[in-house]
Amino acid sequence: MKIRRLTEMSAIAAAVLMLWGCPKKETVTEVVEPEPEPVETFPIEEVEPFNYVCVEMVGGYDKHGVVISQLVVAIKEQEIDLKGPMFGIYYNSPKDVPPDLLKWEVGFPAIVDMENPPASPLVAKTWEYPWVVATVYTGPYQGTEETYEKIQACDDYEIAGPAMERFLDENPDMIEPDDLKTEVWVPVQEPEPEVIEPEEGTVEGDEAAAEGDEAAAEVIEPEEKPAKKDKKKGK
């Protein structure tokens, strides 16, 4: 029994040695590149020019409350007729300049006599950017940065002016911050007109096809070369 036990142990040891002694197959791990996230696109809208009154500001965005108070008081005192929701226009970004150099304004669309502008601190201006990328952001007013990043990530637009944020809620103090709605406008260059090829089977498509066939069938005949004259040899 003792010899048999040793023999069994030897067989087990040999089997283990064979398993561990065999070269291991290298496992090739396939590297799968993550698919890029699709770039979000936004509609381009045409906007009619409009006049507005505003209070201009250079400095940090923490002064919004002070500027809005000045704007509202001045509008009431001067009895300005308003034509739409309050908005902010932002000429540069905290990513590009320090807070004390941020240039922005808060205003309202209004009926304004541009030849007899309102008194300070109000300034009368005209929005003159006819094409804008427009989208509505829902959430706290401070959270619009992600919206701008998405717009800038799209190569379809060539930005042409300062961004506008239109505050759509009449009583924002009565609404939860996560439910506030801000319409973001970013001026862009006029989009190129879309060229629509006429489909076959329509009058326009058949006419285009016929014109193409006529052009293909037109054959330009080569000009005939004059016949060579025989030259007589002199005597």
Token pair of 32 as six digits? 């799968």
218 or 195: whose pLDDT is higher?
195
Helices (H) and strands (E) in the chain, counts: 4, 8
Say if residues 141 and 88 touch (Cβ distance below 8 Å): no
Residue 168 lies in a domain: yes
**What average pLDDT score do residues 109-118 get?**
95
Whether the per-residue pLDDT at 222 is higher than 60: the answer is no
Give phi and psi for 153, each to the nearest 5. -75, -15
Query: Does 142 map to a domain?
Result: yes
53-112 per-position pLDDT tens digit: 999 999 999 999 999 999 999 999 999 999 999 999 999 999 999 999 999 999 999 999
105, 57 Cβ separation under 8 angstroms: yes
The answer as to whether 63 is a domain residue is yes
The domain spanning residue 114 has which CATH number? 3.20.80.10
Contact of 185 with 46, CB cutoff 8 Å: no
Q: Tell me the residue type at 115.
A: E
User: For residues 71 and 86, what is the distance between their CA atoms, to the nearest angstrom?
Assistant: 10
Give pLDDT, residue 19.
41
Provide the H-helix boundaries in the chain.
2-21, 64-78, 145-153, 203-217
Count of domains observed in the chain = 1
94 domain-assigned = yes
pLDDT in tens, 10-20: 444 444 344 44
Residue 108 lies in a domain: yes
- Domain-located, residue 64: yes
Question: Whole-prediction pTM value?
Answer: 0.69
Is 120's pLDDT higher than 90? yes
In a domain, 224, yes or no: no
Question: Is the sign of the CA dihedral 103, 106, 109, 114 positive or negative?
Answer: negative
pLDDT of residue 27: 57
Q: Is position 25 within any domain?
A: no
* Residue range of the domain that includes 137: 44-187
Q: Are 166 and 147 in contact (CB under 8 A)?
A: no
